[in-house]
A and B are shown apart, each in its own frame.
Chain A
């Protein structure tokens, strides 16, 4: 996608537009060839009007005055976009902003539109309206590339579907003869992960209980969006609870709520016998919660600080990092050496900055750090994302080993093989709710995949779904 829009260069392969082979060295080249992109995160200046936003950077096309306004109205009418050129962007809702983005691309003369997860931010009615717009564009002879995780939407809007998994095309499908389930199969791949031969280590002692967690957020338009809705689950000692779901369905918020970074509107979180709902993040960490954040650069590391300082991060109040209010630099350094050794972090020393390590080694350092404080509960969000295969296996082994010692793990991952391979219990999260549960011993990735897209709910069991006991 980035290559197609000229933001990145391919190592190999060719792009052909209208029978002509092309290379893009910048987005400007792509635009010149009639390829435009609507990003998932809007790139609009709030304090400018729609007209100003549209002409920004394309002043040469039709000027910035009446001619540009006429052109905008013309495009808007032609495709039924219903855009008013003189409104300030900050006054627009999400759906309107998206239409402005589309108009921006059309204004620059695009004949091929790339839409990256356009429905992620929209409510169902807005999605329908967007689809109407897209059909309009199609009728006018434009090409639309629609990138989405949501299978139902893809089926309803597309004429042809290409499935990409882990960087390669795994298949194409015709939406008229394809079901959501078949698509899910293509998407997650049908091969099962190597089955777990280990015995279950799940005990009867509940460690983390989450009851009635609810979180909602009011966005700029004053529309209340429910992010977490009636979340209930229990993790026992020695149990790995896996949460499957397409990203952006509330998993990050759930993790943040359990860590105490985000404050839910309602709900009780109990760790062991203590109610930790109102404790600070630091107290929760001290109580034995280890945390492998999903975005290690933003939440797990100080990139410009040396490794031994990163080893202190998050555990500054615990030994061997400090004694009383003072840091124990000697202790922290010695323990960093130990982690580097034990977790095979490939680094020339502990004084280099975290930024100079590769992603896999950064992640091993984080895993080592979190495991070094004998956590009772480990929250692992995408623990092996962007990590090479060797490091991935090592991280899995560490989690399994700790589980045997009675560690409870909340595992959130987009990698279904990882989820099925590691978890003792599986839950599926969709639109802020835990909609389905499954036994990883019998579930197939396809079933999990269809539940993730909201196509199935309740208890998922075996090849034939039992819809009866849904909810």
Chain B
């Protein structure tokens, strides 16, 4: 009996890996066809990508990118585990980064006070912004998909309004760039200088902590169990005593809180201010990464690294005379394939397990009757 359980476990793991792997393979095939269609050799392109992508300076670049992407993936995954589609991660992190940058610029406290304050402020802003969608959903039945998209647009407008000279923004000496007041030197987060390879953001450690906290909360706490219950079956959850409405708002708040951290590696490790060049659209990247990583803390990390690798290596391809749109093609195909593959594999797995359990039980029953006959 034990053996079957183990076998099922092994099989489940295999099936779990199968979907994203299938998607990546399909993406490689489609990309190869696209490169072929443009009249170039795909094998050369892939080998270029490989050698360039794993060079040591690329490694640091990818890790820095992946830090941001990982946080975005986790923020989206918190919602996904609840069957909530938080498209608003994008607006949440931008607004959070902006408010946090304003606060950071105004603070003169030493770094060990200022940095935690900035982080708390960012998380609170993201959480509040997301909570609006959560409250609207449980009180008025507004789909979180619609409300978060609208909140994204509103966030963009609020930032554009406030980020003006005379409001909360200031013009740089050259008169070309509007930004918030830069963070004082003391509020810069530590970096790891790896020499020639570049500078690794210290925030990567925070991302790891977030990942561990995500895993622990979902898998090991009562709260996490309630959250997963709602995601698996809303009706069973409410019959079992989980307040679904409360859970919707809470998970939106958590999702928004994590979203608030997305802009922090950029703010605390790289730009030290919020300006018009602050990265946008990472919330949407997060959706793709959460999908690819199957909402699993390790899976999301792998997906984030893959995303960073793809960006880095296709950037390089552009200089080798390939079309830069290759990146979009690869990413798009991966996401499309992963959604399909995930569902196919899930159904297959469920069915297969049912059959195996049935077969096992039948074998057991046959064995006992045989024994009885012998006796």
* A contact set with B: CB distance below 8 Å: 259-261, 280-285, 291, 293, 298-305, 309, 312-317, 322, 325-327, 329, 346-353, 355-357
Query: How far, in whole Å, are A326 and B225 apart by their CA atoms in the complex?
Result: 10
B5–A314 CB distance below 8 A: no
Taking CB atoms, residues of chain A closer than 8 Å to B233 are 298, 301-303
Among B1, B9, B236, B360, the residue within 8 A (CB) of A302 is: B236
Kindly supply a per-residue 1/0 record for chain B positions 215-246, scoring 1 wherever the CB is within 8 Å of any chain A CB and 0 otherwise: 00001111111101100110110111111000
Among B1, B219, B220, the residue within 8 A (CB) of A349 is: B1
CB distance from B324 to the nearest CB of A (A): 41
Of all A-B residue pairs in the complex, the 8 with the closest CB atoms, nearest first, are A282-B241, A349-B5, A314-B240, A299-B239, A281-B241, A356-B357, A356-B354, A302-B232
Taking CB atoms, residues of chain A closer than 8 Å to B240 are 281-282, 285, 313-316
Query: How far, in whole Å, are A279 and B238 apart by their CA atoms in the complex?
Result: 14
Query: How far, in whole Å, are A196 and B228 apart by their CA atoms in the complex?
Result: 44
20 extra A-B contacts, CB within 8 A, seeds A301-B236, A305-B228: A261-B239, A280-B243, A281-B239, A281-B242, A282-B240, A301-B233, A302-B233, A302-B236, A304-B232, A304-B350, A313-B229, A316-B226, A326-B222, A327-B222, A329-B220, A348-B357, A348-B364, A349-B2, A351-B8, A356-B350
Residue B209 interfacial (CB < 8 Å): no
Query: What residue of chain A has the Cβ atom nearest to residue B358's Cβ?
Result: A356
Of the A-B pairs whose beta carbons lie under 8 Å apart in the complex, a sample of 11, sorted by A's number, is A261-B239, A281-B240, A281-B243, A285-B241, A316-B222, A329-B220, A348-B357, A348-B360, A348-B361, A351-B9, A355-B350
Residue B340 interfacial (CB < 8 Å): no
Query: How far, in whole Å, are A298 and B234 apart by their CA atoms in the complex?
Result: 8
Query: What residue of chain B has the Cβ atom nearest to residue A298's Cβ?
Result: B235
Residue B143 interfacial (CB < 8 Å): no
B350–A353 CB distance below 8 A: yes
Taking CB atoms, residues of chain A closer than 8 Å to B9 are 351
The verdict on A357 contacting B222 (CB below 8 Å), with A302-B229, A302-B236, A305-B232 known, is no
Taking CB atoms, residues of chain B closer than 8 Å to A259 are 239
* B contact set with A: CB distance below 8 Å: 1-2, 4-5, 8-9, 219-226, 228-229, 232-233, 235-236, 238-243, 350, 353-354, 356-358, 360-361, 364
Among A302, A326, A347, the residue within 8 A (CB) of B357 is: A347
Query: What residue of chain A has the Cβ atom nearest to residue B357's Cβ?
Result: A356
Inter-chain CB contacts under 8 Å: number: 108
Query: How far, in whole Å, are A291 and B354 apart by their CA atoms in the complex?
Result: 26
Query: How far, in whole Å, are A353 and B354 apart by their CA atoms in the complex?
Result: 8
Query: What residue of chain B has the Cβ atom nearest to residue A329's Cβ?
Result: B220
Taking CB atoms, residues of chain A closer than 8 Å to B236 are 298-302, 313
From A299, A316, A317, name the one whose CB has the most chain B CB atoms within 10 angstroms: A316
Query: How far, in whole Å, are A293 and B224 apart by their CA atoms in the complex?
Result: 24
B235–A299 CB distance below 8 A: yes
Query: How far, in whole Å, are A304 and B236 apart by their CA atoms in the complex?
Result: 12
Taking CB atoms, residues of chain B closer than 8 Å to A314 are 239-241
CB distance from A147 to the nearest CB of B (A): 27
Taking CB atoms, residues of chain B closer than 8 Å to A309 are 225
A316–B225 CB distance below 8 A: yes
Query: How far, in whole Å, are A350 and B220 apart by their CA atoms in the complex?
Result: 18
CB distance from B244 to the nearest CB of A (A): 10
Query: How far, in whole Å, are A346 and B363 apart by their CA atoms in the complex?
Result: 12
A261–B238 CB distance below 8 A: yes
Query: What residue of chain A has the Cβ atom nearest to residue B355's Cβ?
Result: A356
Query: How far, in whole Å, are A317 and B229 apart by their CA atoms in the complex?
Result: 14
Taking CB atoms, residues of chain A closer than 8 Å to B1 are 348-349
Query: What residue of chain B has the Cβ atom nearest to residue A324's Cβ?
Result: B222
A293–B239 CB distance below 8 A: yes
CB distance from B289 to the nearest CB of A (A): 23
Taking CB atoms, residues of chain B closer than 8 Å to A261 are 238-239
A281–B225 CB distance below 8 A: no
Query: What residue of chain A has the Cβ atom nearest to residue B238's Cβ?
Result: A261
Taking CB atoms, residues of chain B closer than 8 Å to A302 are 229, 232-233, 236
Query: How far, in whole Å, are A39 and B111 apart by their CA atoms in the complex?
Result: 68
Query: What residue of chain A has the Cβ atom nearest to residue B353's Cβ?
Result: A356
Query: What residue of chain B has the Cβ atom nearest to residue A323's Cβ?
Result: B222
A348–B5 CB distance below 8 A: yes
Taking CB atoms, residues of chain A closer than 8 Å to B5 are 348-352
A325–B222 CB distance below 8 A: yes
CB distance from A181 to the nearest CB of B (A): 38
Taking CB atoms, residues of chain B closer than 8 Å to A282 are 240-243
CB distance from B149 to the nearest CB of A (A): 22
CB distance from A418 to the nearest CB of B (A): 22
Taking CB atoms, residues of chain A closer than 8 Å to B239 are 259, 261, 281, 291, 293, 299-300, 314
From A303, A312, A317, A352, name the one whose CB has the most chain B CB atoms within 10 angstroms: A352
Query: How far, in whole Å, are A280 and B357 apart by their CA atoms in the complex?
Result: 37
